[in-house]
Structures are given as C-alpha cells and as structure tokens.
Amino acid sequence: MTTLTLAKALNEGLRRSMEDDPKVLVMGEDVGKLGGVFRVTDGLQKDFGEDRVIDTPLAESGIIGTAIGLALRGYRPVCEIQFDGFVFPAADQIITQLAKMPLRSLGTLKLPVVVRIPFGGGIGAVEHHSESPEAYFTHTAGLRVVACSNPVDAYTMIQDAVRCDDPIIFFEPKRRYWDKADIDLAAPGLALDRARTVRQGRDITLIAYGPMVKTCLEAAAAAEEDGRDIEVIDLRSLNPLDVDVLTESVTRTGRCVVAHEAPVFTGFGAELAARITERCFYSLEAPVLRVGGFSTPYPPSRLEDHYLPDLDRVLDAVDRSFAY
C-alpha cells in the first residue's frame, strides 16, 4: 500500500500509462517543466522527454485540435485544460469534431483523446477558475464524461480513460487534490462506467460525484447521530450513467437527494432526478430533491463558502425529504 494525494495518484496513473504505451502523450499549458499548476504532471517531462510531455501555447482550441490530429495518426493524447473556465475556447473542437468524428466515419476512425479538467471551487481562486461545466459535456452525444472523487479511483480511472478508444472528458475535483488515501498500485479498479456505493444505508440515498462525494459522506456521518442511516453513491461516470445501481438503491430506500456544485437549474442533477423518478416512481416516498450552487456566476473567493453546497445544505434537503 502506498499513501498518495489525489494529485499524486493521477501522476502515478499517467506515469503507468506512459510506461505501458509509447503512443501516450501528455500535452497542455505548463504541463512540462512546471509539472502543471497543480503538479499533476510533475516529473513526467524529465522522465519521458519533451516529445511526449509537451508544453503547448496558451490556446485551448489548438490543444484539442492538435490532439485530434495526433489521435488520427495513432497516438493517445492526454490534454490538460489548466482550469475549468478555460475549456470554452476549446468547445468548438470538442463538440463539433472530437465528439462527432467517430460517428461521422461510421466507426472507422477512433479518437482516444482524454481531456483532463480540474473543476469546481473551494480554492479561493479568481474568476474563470472555479466552474462546474459538466452538464455542457454530458449533453454532448459522443463523449464519455467521468469524474473521480478520491485518490484510489483517480489512479485507476485515469489509466482506464487513457486505454479507452472513445473521447473522454475527465473531471478532477481540484479542492480534493490534496486529500490522501492508501492505494494498492497493483489492484484493479472498478470499471470506468460503473457507480460505486461508498456508504451503505437504508433510509435515504445521496448521489454525488467529484468534490461533493466527500461532503455527502460527512453529511451521512452527521445524520447518523440523529438516527438516520444514509446511503451514499459516487457516480464516477456521468455519461454513460450507471442507472441500475441508482435504481436498486432508491427502490430500497424510497428517498433520494442529488448533490453537485454546479447551479441547480438545469444542472446534471435534473437528469438524475428525472431518470430516478421514471425508474422508481412507485417506490418513492418523496420527490427527488436537488442540492447545488445558486443560479449566479461563481462569486468572488470571499463569498464562495456561502455559494458552495455544504454539509448543512445537504442535511437540510434530507430533512425536507423526510418531511413529506
């Protein structure tokens, strides 16, 4: 067992992928000599060279466009978007080319491109550095969208993403980069498209992904003092969605709360609530409730503690569910 932070676990996963396949490339702004602003790629350029760990210009559209060309030539590019809010200049390449080219070619062309995006708030950053853009990409057919929440999953999920022949948006919870866990580097991980029940419970189901998984686990521990037994599910994959795990849990508990940092209005939680209601309608004791950010642009850092969903807002939704 090795103790690693989430950022270091990603680094080790990328290192293992590059050792296993010489066609794996890492590219992005400051990923080489600096090792990335969060040091996720630290030491990779030194060990694998500038031809495989490439410091790119500050041009997100160019990064993704170049990665598409490299993938067509047989490489497996792993692109880092330095911060979540920087991905929008690359949206044209991601949505109109990366997501569509495999179908456009009737499956004859593969685009094994991983787009890594640190997402979410909680680090006291300035504007454009604390976004949660996952719903834009889950709505884009042709993309896989995943989000790790802990070091163990980060290590295995990044390797699975690199091996996958489909284009993948890989969200990393930046405020959890420094969380630590013991990792068995030889142990296989859960399949990339499967959800994980991280806490068993019988009274209500909490569903989260990325940075909110830890918050929901803390809420479940606090609720236990009041005699409530809460189940917590880490989605891990947003598209495709492991609906069967969600259905089994909510059918059994009869209540559900969905939590994410993104604004509630038309956030990914709306899709989850609709799917669960369709699947579990006759088992529900209350409506599926959603917890998320407010319908405002992400605020200045001194206000983000009020904006981000916390333990109290999750528990408030739990109380509202039991009030029905």
Sign of CA pseudo-dihedral 44, 45, 50, 56:
positive
Q: For residues 83 and 230, state if they share a domain.
A: no
Q: For residues 175 and 224, state if they share a domain.
A: no
**129: annotated active-site residue:** yes
Q: How confident is the model at residue 50 (pLDDT cuts 50, 70, 90)?
A: very high
CA distance 101 to 66: 14
Nearest to 179 by CA among 251, 250, 122, 101: 122
Residue 224 lies in a domain: yes
Sign of CA pseudo-dihedral 266, 269, 272, 278:
negative
Q: For residues 9 and 109, state if they share a domain.
A: yes
Residue 190 lies in a domain: no
Q: For residues 166 and 257, state if they share a domain.
A: no
Which pair of structure tokens corresponds to residue 301? 């850092």
Amino acid at 73: R
Yes or no: say if 146 and 171 are a contact pair by the CB < 8 Å rule.
yes
Amino acid at 130: S
CB atoms inside a 10 Å sphere around CB 46: 12
CA distance 37 to 198: 30
Residue 61 lies in a domain: yes
pLDDT tens for 109-137 read: 999 999 999 999 999 999 999 999 999 99
Beta strands in 36-105 (DSSP E): 53-55, 76-80
The last residue of a domain, from among 153, 183, 213:
183
Q: How confident is the model at residue 318 (pLDDT cuts 50, 70, 90)?
A: very high
SS3 127: coil
Q: For residues 169 and 202, state if they share a domain.
A: no
Q: For residues 152 and 284, state if they share a domain.
A: no
* Mean pLDDT score, 137-143: 97
Residue 99 lies in a domain: yes
Residue 244 lies in a domain: yes
Q: For residues 156 and 272, state if they share a domain.
A: no
pLDDT tens for 245-258 read: 999 999 999 999 99
Q: For residues 171 and 30, state if they share a domain.
A: yes
Average pLDDT of every residue of the chain: 97
Q: Report yes or no on whether pTM surpasses 0.75.
A: yes
The residues pairing with 146 across neighbouring beta strands, listed in sequence order, are 170, 237
Q: For residues 9 and 33, state if they share a domain.
A: yes
Q: For residues 169 and 201, state if they share a domain.
A: no
Q: Please tell me what DSSP assigns to residue 82.
A: S
pLDDT at 206: 98
Yes or no: say if 182 and 153 are a contact pair by the CB < 8 Å rule.
no
Residue 188 lies in a domain: no
Range of the domain at 234: 196-322
Residue 85 lies in a domain: yes
Q: What is the CATH number of the domain that holds 154?
A: 3.40.50.970
Q: How confident is the model at residue 283 (pLDDT cuts 50, 70, 90)?
A: very high
Exactly one of 129, 139, 260, 306 is catalytic; name it.
129
CA distance 320 to 305: 22
Q: What is the CATH number of the domain that holds 290?
A: 3.40.50.920
Sign of CA pseudo-dihedral 14, 15, 19, 20:
negative
Tally of CA atoms within 13 A in the half-sphere of 234 that contains its CB: 23
Yes or no: say if 231 and 201 are a contact pair by the CB < 8 Å rule.
yes
Residue 191 lies in a domain: no
Q: For residues 213 and 174, state if they share a domain.
A: no
Domains of the chain: total: 2
C-alpha distances in Å from residue 142, one per residue of 61, 99, 168, 169, 269: 18, 5, 9, 11, 20
Q: For residues 169 and 221, state if they share a domain.
A: no
Sign of CA pseudo-dihedral 64, 65, 71, 75:
negative
